[in-house]
Amino acid sequence: MKTEMIDLQTMDEAVRLLQEGEVVAMPTETVYGLAGDATNEAAVRRIFAAKGRPSDNPLIVHVASVEQAHQFVTHIPDVAARLMEAFWPGALTIILESNGTASTLVTAGLDTIGLRMPDHPLALQLIEATGLGLAAPSANRSGKPSPTSSAHVAYDLSGRIAAIVDGGETGIGVESTVIDCTMTPPAILRPGGVTREQIESVIGPVTLDPALSMKDVTPKAPGMKYTHYAPEATLSVVEGDLSFLQQLIDDARQTGHKTGVLLFDGEDVDADVRCFLGNSMETAAQRLYDCLRRFDQTTVDQIFVRDLSEEGVGLAVRNRLHKAAGGRVIRP
């Protein structure tokens, strides 16, 4: 399959492909998504095939309005309506009771469905022009770092999908927050671009789902069951100060390993390859996946990063790092 690169002037082609049941990579404000008609089983199968994604992992359906969200759910409770008013369009996926309109492959056989309205003009334009709810997981091979540019998508999926809509680099850089509004109080199933603190300022206390730290729990949200975001080299999360981090790197180099390190601006640690996350958790979110992919273009085989704070969007960045490390944590 030849993969087209589509710009704003040729969006009609992307619309046609989606309406015909093909899959198209589209930009959102979080990461690039791999979009297909959520009601078309053949299209959804193409999404899973292109990604190499296990079929028991549910997909998010992207909509362009609250009215369109009603097409996929039995009802929208008050707490969800308040979240939609506060954060849609935006990086918040809301889990509600499915009415069965979406393919059962989208919901992975669950009686719930995740919906969000992306805050990106090209994504909204595609949804509105097609008239479809678009199932769209991240547009990368399953398990690898999510794509924050069209070049990342092309590297992973060229020849596997019909087209890529080029919208430049994404803004937030980590996926949407997923919150389950079928329970009381609502539970965050995946931390992301909308913080727990922001959510609680609108609807009051929420919980963090135990599946964030437990294994062998049936996933109700995308990205919760399998190792995700992993670079090719071994990634280790390090507890301790910068001197302990440097010691670990030095020890690895002495045994013949090529080392990489993720740092914040101003942190002085030596390694074979360094990638900087900026000076805030917001810039860390924007740069994280690009850094992990940059390491894949080098010969490093050991990557180290210090553990992060869980405040604000730090909860999401820390979650992605720990999943990329497969739970590998080194303590002093």
Alpha-carbon span 227 to 239, nearest angstrom: 21
pLDDT (0 to 100) of residue 213: 64
pLDDT tens for each residue of the chain, 332 residues long: 778 887 766 799 999 999 999 999 999 999 999 999 999 999 999 999 999 988 888 999 999 999 999 999 999 999 999 999 999 999 999 999 999 999 999 999 999 999 999 999 999 999 999 999 999 999 999 889 999 999 999 999 999 999 999 999 999 999 999 999 999 999 999 999 999 999 999 999 999 988 776 444 454 555 444 457 889 999 999 999 999 999 999 999 999 999 999 999 999 999 999 999 999 999 999 999 999 999 999 999 999 999 999 999 999 999 999 989 988 999 99
What is the residue whose two structure tokens read 């297909």? Answer: 36
Residues with Cβ < 8 Å from 130, sequence gap 6 or more? 15, 18, 19, 37
pLDDT (0 to 100) of residue 220: 53
DSSP state of 177: E
Q: Quick count: other Cβ atoms within 10 Å of Cβ 19?
A: 15
Amino acid (1-letter code) at residue 224: M
pLDDT (0 to 100) of residue 227: 59
Amino acid (1-letter code) at residue 173: G
pLDDT (0 to 100) of residue 211: 75
Task: Specify burial of residue 256 (Cβ count, 10 A radius: 0-12, 13-18, 19+).
Answer: exposed
Compute the C-alpha angle 174/180/184, nearest 5°: 140
DSSP H helix total and E strand total for the chain: 11, 16
Alpha-carbon span 277 to 168, nearest angstrom: 19
Alpha-carbon span 320 to 242, nearest angstrom: 21
Plot region of 108 (φ>0 → left; ψ -120 to 50 → alpha; else → beta): left
3-state secondary structure of 308: coil
Asked if residue 185 has a cis previous peptide bond (ω within 30° of 0), the answer is: yes
CB 143 within 8 A of CB 226: yes
pLDDT (0 to 100) of residue 57: 87
Query: What Å distances lie between residue 10 and 13, 17, 118, 150, 152, CA to CA?
Result: 6, 12, 21, 16, 21
pLDDT (0 to 100) of residue 39: 98
Alpha-carbon span 234 to 261, nearest angstrom: 11
Alpha-carbon span 143 to 231, nearest angstrom: 9
Prediction pTM value: 0.93
